[in-house]
Structure 1
């Protein structure tokens, strides 16, 4: 006779008691910011008592902290389904929708909270802010006229009318151009928490846009056999850790080329310094310094996670708008020596995608919610074969068979991607064919992860990993410039 299932043999009271014990442990891990462990424990509680709205809502909160907005949405919706009066469920679902840029849906959930708690000032404030965003987006769509193209921000900037004050003592472009000397001065100037002059910042952005609009969506990079090449992942506005990369691995040059694989900004509060430094090196060494677009090089992410607020505080909202225009033209992926595919997020919801298809992807726009461009920026690997729904609610999750098929179809050795925090700064998965690299150590001053970068040589293209700890930075906390609605995630 087969063994009786242990769970089914328990009484309802025993299951509830055991589930509550798991929930208590999960809450402790949540408080300790060990969100993956908390999710595992909440899951055990849910397996014992699947109809507890509280367990689903709590797991939703843990997923929100990890930006698993798709999973958070599913749990919050389930909590509401189980108890339509449970206000925290609506809060969590609204936060999930916001993380996915679905403002109208978030507004509806905030409205439900306000109706249930008319005296809740925090709920009213969040509802009003969300409604303001929805109304602004509606207004922008209304004034957009297809047959009357609007001037771009770049076309409205008049560099010549900007003057350099006599007391400005910072780095200066030489005849309007970036030089090695300028970059050395710029990095030291930024390290001292000083701002580059507005005129020079605008000039760098305008030159970057002019350069990027001529580039393909997929950039082929040739690396000589004996030459070293470095790939870095997310830096997320952690400028002092970016400087540490250059200290450990050398400053970018024609003999020390780099590829930075997206998410240069947001969260960290020195995003302006990061992006202007990276853009400066791109202009100085256009054929030896490369940048892929990340999911945080987008308007919605920048409005939520701090970059727009930071640029507006340090410069102006007009400059923030110009950054958005420039980001729209960043390449989406790179192929190194025809053998290694590099993109920020990952692979695709269908087989048979070719490099030529990726070369043909239309840029110059905000990322759509589906399709190749979306998946390049948002997808994540999963350990099991096949494909699954995205934990983020955007893109997809892809297994080792998907990676093998893509590499086989396109004659590639392996894929490098970023987009996810890893404890050691990198992770090798899918039988060595999918490598994640993340270069922001102690992410948001809370994750205690190492950062990493990958070096390889053109001859054998074998990845080598360098890991490092976070370095001290001035006392400006991450998310200092983020939208106040972000308090729902933290």
Structure 2
């Protein structure tokens, strides 16, 4: 119906009226934060009348809420194409550009809005914030080009950091993490205390050495009768992370874990999450594993809260050190030569091999394209083939792409994370592509359950445990986010 409407250009009064009803229905869904239903209703309105800018603008806003930044960008651009004076279209497109880290393009759209509406305080505030970001980035780029920056790790003097008498929290024993230290740390964090900066720096320096020694693709052997647990996104939800350990047992050599990226950002207890995970990596380096996610990057951390949280709780120097550590996180793990685990998904080209993944030079910020980018950003789709990413980064891949990859590499299935799922997990592509997401009630708004996967080395069959969120202190998500992101909320 939409194709015919666009071809003929004729919209009947009945279709126009029906489209308006769908728009009003979608607006109600949006108000109730049911963004998927809102998107579906806006889509129906567009199918009946594809010539109304506001339908695309509203759907763009819903896509922004579901982090489909690529789709949001397309809809916002379409709304502007239909109506050059539709200011909300420029707003939405600017927000999409910002979310994708394309700050100069965002600034251009905000400039259009402020020029057309100079008394719009909200527009002026967003233009000002975006302008600051562009200037800061230009300054940082100039600085980095002027000098060959030394590693932050080399500039840290642990001996100069004194432990004050009043500090009563967990202490490393002879500079080492112990099981008792980790139990004490979790309880210390549970009671909203801060780990001493000397121990925090020590953990970061030591864990960086471990990750530097690992390949981009880590091989994990799981004995026949041994349990192995895979967790998805945590996103700074420390109290839910502690609940995973309560439900499934603390990490140990007998209870190994793999955390599959996006440990930080959005949730406002990201520092607590990352030091808990890094602590266990140091305690059980051969039985506790961590993959890089798309949020273990400078741009994401600056936008979505981790950078601000580290600076608030520690220092800008520590924030820079985190970047160095994240650059060395492995990109994927292969379990018993049968299952590949990565944060995002598969690739824009066929015949990628495990050896290709092993050879990725990962010590850098994620690029905008290529194997490393797609491992961190891609998503599955139900239909065959490939499509441009709904996020604007990476690619969407169908069941045929998954099967081809598995056949090429003699694998059983893949596990990835990266997407909120109502039950915390989803089995797709005829059982060959599994998504696991471990942050329940994501951002305190999504209402989803979290989940983790357990399997044993003998049959490698995935078993799912789904759980609800637990209460946390009254610190809202994104509390440390970039001030621009707060304006968007």
TM range (shorter): over 0.9
CA distance in structure 1 between the partners assigned to 2:162 and 2:486 by the alignment? 39
Q: CA deviation at 1:349?
A: 0.2
Deviation at 1:154, TM superposition (A): 1.1
Structure 1 residues 144-166: Cα deviation after superposition (integer angstroms, max 9, x where no partner): 348x5211211121111110001
Do structure 1's residue 143 and structure 2's residue 143 form an aligned pair? yes
In the TM superposition, 1:249-398 aligns within 5 A as: 249-398=248-397
Deviation at residue 488 of structure 1 after TM alignment: 5.2
2:461 counterpart SS class: coil
Structure 1 residue 136, shift from structure 2 partner: 1.8
Match of 1:76 in 2: 76
2-structure distance, mates of 1:141, 1:171: 39
| Alignment partner, residue 163 of structure 1 | 162
- Tell me what 1:422 maps to: 421
Unpaired segments ≥5 residues, structure 1: none
Partner Cα distance (2:171, 2:343) in 1:
32
Partner of 2:474: 475
Deviation string, structure 1 residues 108-152 (Cα, Å, up to 9, x no partner) = 111111111112222122112211211222222223348x52112
Residue 112 (structure 2) pairs with residue 112 (structure 1): yes
CA distance in 1, matches of 2:240, 2:9: 54
Partners in 2 of 1:481 and 1:314 — Cα distance? 10
CA contact (8 A) 1:306 1:480 kept: yes
| Residues 193, 477 of structure 1: alpha-carbon distance in 2 compared, 3 angstrom cutoff | same
* Conserved? CA contact 2:11–2:49, under 8 Å: no
Alignment check: 8 A CA contact 2:357 2:371 kept = yes
Corresponding residue number in structure 2 for 1:180:
179
For the residue of structure 2 that corresponds to 1:453, the secondary structure is strand
CA distance in 2, matches of 1:397, 1:209: 32
Scaled by the length of structure 1, the TM-score of the pair is: 0.97
Asked if the contact 1:338–1:412 (Cα under 8 Å) also holds between the matched residues in 2, the reply is yes
Find the counterpart in structure 1 of residue 14 from structure 2: 14
Gaps of 5+ in 2: none
Which range is displaced more, 163-172 or 205-214? 205-214
**Whole-angstrom distance in 1 between the partners of 2:301 and 2:194:** 20
Return the alpha-carbon distance in structure 1 between the equivalents of residues 144 and 442 of structure 2.
39
Q: How far off is 1:487 after superposition?
A: 3.5
Q: State the distance in 1 between where 2:121 and 2:488 align.
A: 18
**Shift of residue 469, structure 1, vs aligned partner:** 0.7
Q: 1:9 to 1:346 in 2, by over 3 A?
A: closer
1:406-445 alignment to 2 at 5 Å?
Answer: 406-445=405-444
Query: What SS does structure 2 have at the residue aligned with 1:455?
Result: strand
Shift of residue 37, structure 1, vs aligned partner: 0.6
Distance 2:44 2:10 in 1: 15
SS where residue 168 of structure 2 aligns? coil
Cα distance between partner residues in 2 of 1:143 and 1:443: 37
| 2:24 alignment partner in structure 1 | 24
1:227-279 deviations in whole A, cap 9, x for unaligned? 00000000111111111100110000000000000000111111110000000
Question: Matched residue of 1:144: which SS?
Answer: helix
Q: Does the alignment pair 1:464 with 2:473?
A: no
> Which residues of 2 match residues 437-456 of structure 1 at below 5 A?
437-456=436-455
Measure, in 2, the Cα distance between the counterparts of 1:132 and 1:472: 36
Contact preservation (8 Å) 2:305, 2:479: yes
Deviation at 1:6, TM superposition (A): 11
Which residue of 2 is the match for residue 94 of structure 1? 94
Q: Distance in 1 between matches of 2:91 and 2:153?
A: 39
String of CA shifts for 1:335-382, please: whole Å, max 9, x gaps.
000000000000000000000000010111110000000000000000
CA contact (8 A) 2:221 2:335 kept: yes
Cα displacement (A) at 1:11? 6.1
Looking at structure 1, the residues matched to 32 and 430 of structure 2 have their Cα atoms a distance apart, in angstroms, of: 33
Other-structure match for 1:196: 195
SS of aligned partner of 2:84: coil
CA distance in 1, matches of 2:152, 2:107: 30
Secondary structure at the counterpart of residue 50 of structure 2: coil
